[in-house]
Chain A
């Protein structure tokens, strides 16, 4: 898609490891959990195998923010603050979101390292992550000792968080493949032309760093 351009670092190693650990554990949790929701998958849940897998990967899933904090504390802080802070361009971007949905990035307001859609995605993932983790822990450690209402409240919240996460993931995969963004999360580097098109304000801030100390530290040649 983009050829012969210089590359800029968008995702640190810690961010990429955290992303993929979360992604893999999420899908394992999803499919092991679906054995209790889709009757034709029920035989896979027999004897508690799916539950064992679900619990092992729940631990991996919940340790991702811990890993992220240890590997890249500033990255985690930036992720959280950026995800909940929206400027005027972000709001305009959201208004024009239908254009972006259909593959038109030109004419969209300039964006920072995260576009407004990614911010909403991250913000909802953070909220549902907390919900699904806490309700999951209650269901795990409270098993057999919850009242009817406590139990139903927990499973319903766990379910709702799951549906939101699945829908967000579908959207996330859609935009990844429409805009060819997979490589950025694999190597950490994005094409400078891509950055100019999709994250103009972020690219400008990196360029400003460059003029301050004479070189562009986050870049390499493609």
Chain B
């Protein structure tokens, strides 16, 4: 298996310019009112000691991605680099990914799903996704996840001098996120779930219920198909006995 790739967003460096969003819209040829990158802002404290927390609402590239598991058309797939790709031309817009995502990231609009496509062509050419190459504040990095984690640890250690709750988000969540976040405070402050999870019923539905249902239907077809000739002959015989 090839190495895990991912993003690192240092939320403490983000200047809220939203250039990443615009670059993403241009790269993916989206209209102005469709975006794969949204933001959440949260102020804590009271004047004059106010802290502004910002985070992106964008695909977290979960290692154990429930959207990939639930996608009925194969539009959502895991790349070898473990990024979660979306092929809009295969998407039916069913919105199952939007329903199952623990971060509520995908949006089902215009009969398709909208979520980060991880700039597949660029990444496979060895380039950075456009949001990363555009970021003027160096708040975004792209690369091998292990390397990103190392640099995040250093940065968090420095931040903790000023923000004792500073931490890395995404180390373990959902099997490890491909979108690592450096936070200055607890995840809840940013509106991030502390322990996101995919409901266990998802695996039950896809791995047990659906195959069992299909097997039962198959058994019914076999039983009736095999008995049909005998049963109709028996019936004709009874009618002719009259």
Contacts and interface: CB of A to CB of B under 8 A. Distances in A.
B89 interface: yes
Contacts of B73: 36, 39, 42-43, 45-46
A151 B66 CA distance: 13
B198 interface: yes
A46 B235 contact: no
A159 B108 contact: no
Interface string B186-223: 00000000000011011011000110010011001100
Interface stretch (A63-71, A101-109, A182-190, A204-212): A101-109
Contact of B111 (A48, A153, A177, A193): A48
B98 interface: yes
Interface stretch (A72-80, A82-90, A110-118, A167-175): A167-175
Contacts of A177: 228, 232
Contacts of A46: 73, 89-92
Q: Which of B213, B230, B236 has the most CB of A within 10 A?
A: B213
Contacts of A159: 205, 209-210, 213
Contacts of B54: none
Q: Which of A43, A101, A153, A178 has the most CB of B within 10 A?
A: A178
A51 B232 CA distance: 39
Interface string B222-242: 001001101111111011001
A178 B95 CA distance: 43
A26 B220 CA distance: 18
Contact of B238 (A2, A104, A146, A170): A104
Interface string A132-154: 00000000000110101101110
Chain A binding site: helix, strand, loop or mixed by DSSP?
Answer: helix
Nearest to B66: A148
A95 interface: no
A156 to B, nearest CB: 5
What's the interface size class on B, roughly? Answer: 35 or more
A173 B220 CA distance: 11
Given A148-B199, A149-B201, A160-B209, A102 B217 contact: no
Chain B binding site: helix, strand, loop or mixed by DSSP?
Answer: helix
Contacts of A12: none
B216 A47 contact: no
What's the interface size class on A, roughly? Answer: 35 or more
B100 A102 contact: no
Given A152-B202, A171-B224, A144 B99 contact: yes
B170 interface: no
A106 B239 CA distance: 10
A214 B71 CA distance: 66
Contact of A35 (B92, B213, B227): B92
Contacts of A31: none
B74 A39 contact: yes
A105 B238 contact: yes
A42 B92 contact: yes
A47 B210 CA distance: 24
A1 B233 CA distance: 12
Contact of B230 (A102, A144, A153, A156): A102
B178 interface: no
B230 A103 contact: yes
A179 B92 CA distance: 42
A182 B234 CA distance: 18
A152 B232 contact: no
22 contacts: A36-B72, A36-B94, A37-B72, A42-B92, A46-B89, A47-B111, A47-B112, A51-B94, A102-B231, A146-B99, A148-B202, A151-B100, A152-B202, A152-B205, A155-B205, A156-B201, A159-B210, A167-B216, A170-B224, A178-B228, A178-B231, A178-B235
Given A47-B93, A152-B202, 14 more contacts: A42-B90, A42-B92, A47-B92, A103-B230, A103-B233, A103-B234, A106-B238, A144-B98, A148-B202, A156-B204, A156-B209, A170-B220, A174-B224, A178-B235
Closest 3 CB pairs of A and B: A103-B234, A48-B111, A103-B231
